[in-house]
Amino acid sequence: MTEVHAVVILERDDYNYFLPGLIAVCDGNKIKKNGYHGAPDLVAEVVSISSRSLDYIRKPVKYEQAGVREYWIVDPLRNVVMVYDFEAVGGGGVNSFALPLSRQSCLLSSG
């Protein structure tokens, strides 16, 4: 059994290492013992108060530059999921849209 750490090492950026909430990997050859080297196909982050500016401002830019195909921001405080489809717009642009959450989690509900 191979142990995989959830560290994403962006090969185009030697200074930033992220620990995303979820990644989807299509190329298993890039999975190493110390993490995934290169750009995952999909990265999802759950926003917290302490990570808000990092998740919304810095990470989309870094992930797009590294070659991530989709970046999802799950924001339970705003009840929104933002989906950045970096491949949808030509020329390196970002196409984003918000999806309202139609169902609350049983674990996160107040009652």
pLDDT tens string 1-10: 344 445 565 6
Which tens digits make up the pLDDT trace of 6-30? 556 565 566 667 778 888 888 888 7
Q: Contact at 8 Å (CB) between 64 and 86?
A: yes
Model pLDDT for residues 63-82, shown as the tens digit of each residue: 888 888 888 888 888 878 88
Residues 6+ apart with CB under 8 A from 12: 65, 66, 67
Structure confidence at residue 46 (pLDDT): 92
pLDDT in tens, 36-55: 677 888 999 999 999 899 99
Helix (H, G, I), strand (E, B) or coil at 49: helix
